[in-house]
C-alpha cells in the first residue's frame, strides 16, 4: 500500500529532477547564446503577466471574494439546521435566528374544514411541512417556505435554489417541486501556500464539505381547520 501511494510521487520527483538537470546543465555544454536564454525567460514572464491581467479582467468569473465559508462555519450551519428541524418534528418550532430564512410566502383564503396536504411529487422532492394552528378562524391559510443555507465547498448557493410551487385547490394543498437547479462549476485555488494564511482550508485538511440545505414549509391554518397528510403540528416558541 505504502509503495503504491509513493510511486507517483517518486515518478514526479524523478521527472522534475531529470528535466531540471537537463534544462539547466545542458546550458553548460550545449552551444547556446546567452541572449537566447534571456529571451525565452523574458517572453515566458511577459506571457504569464498578460495571462494574469486577462484572468483578472477579461474573464470576469463568478468571484467569491471573502464569501468562502469555512468548514467550521459550514458544520455550524448544518448542526443548527438539523437542531431546528428535529425540534420541530418533536412539536416545537424554535426561534429561527437567521438559520432559516423565509424565501417565499403565500396567503390562501380557505373556508373549508379539512385540508389535505399533497406533497407527493414525481420529482422526488420532499420538504417537511410544519403546521401551526392559529388561535382564531380568519379564513386564511398562510404558507411560507423557509430555507437553510446550501453551502457547497464553501460557496453559498442558497440563492440559486427556488421555492416550491404551492397552491390550494378545493381542500387540497399541493406542493410542487421547484425548477431543477443544476450547478456545474469549476473551482480554482492558487495552491496550498495561498490557502494557508487566508483562512481557507489548509493543505492537509482539505475535504470537500457541503451542507445541502434543509427546507421546510410552515403553514398557519385557521383554528378549526383539520389537516391531514404528511406533516407535523408544531407550536412556535
Partner 1 sequence: MSLTDVTTWEITKKQYRYKLKSYFGVFSSLVAIQLLAILFSLNGTGMSGGSSGTFSYDVNYYTGDIIQVLVMIWAFITAIIITTKAYRYDDYSFVTNRLISHYSNILFLFSASILAGIMVFFTGHLFRLITILLKNTDSIMVSELTLLGTLKGITASILYIFLCASIGYFVGILIQLNRLFSFLLPVLFVGALFVDGMNNDPTVFPSIISFFGSENFLFLFILKIIMASALFYILAISFSNRMEVRP
Partner 2 sequence: MKVVECKELTKRYGKAKAINNLSFELTENKITGLIGRNGAGKTTLLKMIAGYLHHTSGDIQVFSENPFNNLKVSANSIFIDNGMSFSPSLTLEELLETSGEFYPNWDQRLAKRLFDYFSFNPLQSHVNLSKGMKSTFNMIIGLAARCPLTIFDEPTSGMDAGTRKDFYRALLKDYIAHPRTIILSSHLLSEVEDILEEILLIKNGEKLLHMPIEILKEYSIGISGKATAVSEWTSNKETIFTQSIGVDGSYVVIKNDCSLRDLEIARDIGLEVSSVSAEDVCTYLTSKTKEGIDHVFN
Binding-site partner at residue 11 among partner 1, partner 2, none, CB < 5 to 8 Å by type: none
Choices 99-107, 134-142, 194-202, 220-228; region in contact with partner 1 by CB under 8 A: 194-202
- Please say whether the beta carbons of 119 and 227 come within 8 A: no
- Compare residues 137 and 230 and give the one whose CB is closer to partner 1: 230
Q: Cα 222–223–229 angle (5° rounding)?
A: 75
String of contacts with partner 2 for each residue 29-58, x by CB under 8 A: x-xxxxx-x---------------------
Q: How far is 213 from 208, CA to CA, in rounded Å?
A: 16
Core vs surface per residue 79-108: b (16+ CB within 10 A) or e? ebbeebbeebeeeebeeeeebbeebbebeb
Q: How many residues bind partner 1 (CB under 8 A)?
A: 84
- Compare residues 26 and 107 and give the one whose CB is closer to partner 2: 26
C-alpha cell at 138: 380568519
Cell numbers 410552515 correspond to what residue? 218
Residues 124-153 that bind partner 2 (CB under 8 A): none
Q: How many residues bind partner 2 (CB under 8 A)?
A: 9
Shortest Cβ 27–partner 2 spacing (Å): 5
- Please say whether the beta carbons of 99 and 81 come within 8 A: yes
Choices 9-17, 103-111, 133-141, 217-225; region in contact with partner 1 by CB under 8 A: 9-17
Footprint of partner 2 on this chain (CB under 8 A)?
27-29, 31-35, 37
Amino acid at each position: 500500500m505504502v509503495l503504491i501511494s509513493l510511486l507517483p510521487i517518486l515518478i514526479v520527483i524523478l521527472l522534475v529532477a531529470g528535466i531540471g538537470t537537463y534544462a539547466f546543465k545542458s546550458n553548460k555544454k550545449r552551444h547556446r547564446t546567452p541572449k537566447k536564454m534571456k529571451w525565452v525567460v523574458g517572453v515566458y514572464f511577459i506571457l504569464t503577466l498578460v495571462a494574469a491581467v486577462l484572468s483578472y479582467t477579461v474573464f470576469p468569473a463568478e468571484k467569491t471574494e471573502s464569501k468562502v465559508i469555512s468548514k467550521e462555519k459550514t458544520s455550524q450551519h448544518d448542526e443548527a439546521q438539523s437542531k431546528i428541524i428535529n425540534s420541530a418534528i418533536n412539536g416545537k418550532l424554535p426561534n429561527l435566528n437567521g438559520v432559516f430564512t423565509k424565501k417565499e410566502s403565500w396567503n390562501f383564503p380557505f373556508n373549508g374544514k379539512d385540508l389535505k396536504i399533497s406533497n407527493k411529487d414525481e420529482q422526488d422532492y420532499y420538504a417537511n411541512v410544519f403546521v401551526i394552528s392559529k388561535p382564531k378562524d380568519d379564513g386564511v391559510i398562510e404558507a411560507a417556505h423557509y430555507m437553510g443555507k446550501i453551502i457547497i465547498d464553501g460557496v453559498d448557493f442558497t440563492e440559486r435554489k427556488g421555492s416550491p410551487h404551492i397552491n390550494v385547490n378545493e381542500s387540497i394543498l399541493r406542493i410542487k417541486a421547484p425548477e431543477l437547479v443544476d450547478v456545474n462549476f469549476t473551482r480554482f485555488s492558487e495552491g496550498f501556500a495561498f490557502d494557508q494564511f487566508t483562512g481557507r482550508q489548509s493543505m492537509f485538511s482539505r475535504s470537500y464539505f457541503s451542507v445541502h440545505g434543509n427546507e421546510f414549509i410552515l403553514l398557519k391554518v385557521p383554528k378549526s381547520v383539520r389537516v391531514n397528510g404528511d406533516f407535523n403540528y408544531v407550536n412556535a416558541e
